[in-house]
Amino acid sequence: MKSWPAEKRVTIHPGEQHVSRDRQFMISTLLGSCVAACLYDPVMRVMGMNHFLLANKRYSKDMPVIASEAGRYGLYAMELLINNMLKAGAQKRNLKAKVFGGGNVLPGISSDSFFAVGEVNSRFVLEFLEAEKIPVLSKGLGGDHGRVIHFVSTDFSVYVKPIARSKTIEVEKKEQQYWKKAINQREQEEQQSEIQFW
């Protein structure tokens, strides 16, 4: 991997996704509570990865995440990735998945805060892929550490490297800021919609 030229690699961040048909390409990301779905069509040789975090103040263990308010944002992230892969020539019936992230790395886990988001992200991505009949061939979800992942197009392998506890906490704090920003943005959009309705 290290011998590949720089233009053959891209790093994505929360809220981003990337699709490629290049036969020598690598997509990388750094995960704490966030989840990355690595999708590929081995027949048409199209690959894509997203990096997302569901944003909601409260999560229910009794209902599927895919049907929840928070799940709506995960649906957008997954559908955007799949649609961009289809535009690049992938066929949905050929898609395979490998999923990573969803760690719970900070103390104080509860069902009504950011600290539950890793588990919720993991539940969502598995529910979505099952509903879409996209097989999950590999996964690395949960745990108490962050991960660096590298998704390569040569054979669609995903290389996973756990990161140190200190680095994991740093990543988690950045993700928490992203989570709060996403919730505030959603609340503002909802308020604007109510004003326009009335």
The top-scoring range by mean pLDDT among 16-25, 157-166, 172-181 is 16-25
CA separation for the pair 62, 59 (Å, rounded): 9
Beta strands in 106-194 (DSSP E): 136-141, 147-152, 158-162
Print the domain residue range for 30.
6-193
Q: What is the CATH number of the domain that holds 135?
A: 3.30.1330.200
Instruction: Look at residue 105 and tell me if it is in a domain.
Output: yes
Instruction: Look at residue 46 and tell me if it is in a domain.
Output: yes
b/e sequence 19-48, b meaning 16+ C-beta within 10 Å: bbbeeebbbbbbbbbbbbbbbbbeeebbbb
pLDDT digits (tens, 9 = 90+) for 67-100: 455 556 778 899 999 999 999 999 999 999 999 9
**How much is the pLDDT for 187?**
63
pLDDT at residue 2 tops 60 = no
Instruction: Look at residue 80 and tell me if it is in a domain.
Output: yes
Instruction: Look at residue 198 and tell me if it is in a domain.
Output: no
pTM to 2 decimals? Answer: 0.80
Number of domains in the chain: 1
Instruction: Look at residue 103 and tell me if it is in a domain.
Output: yes
**How much is the pLDDT for 12?**
96
Confidence of residue 195 (pLDDT cuts 50, 70, 90): very low
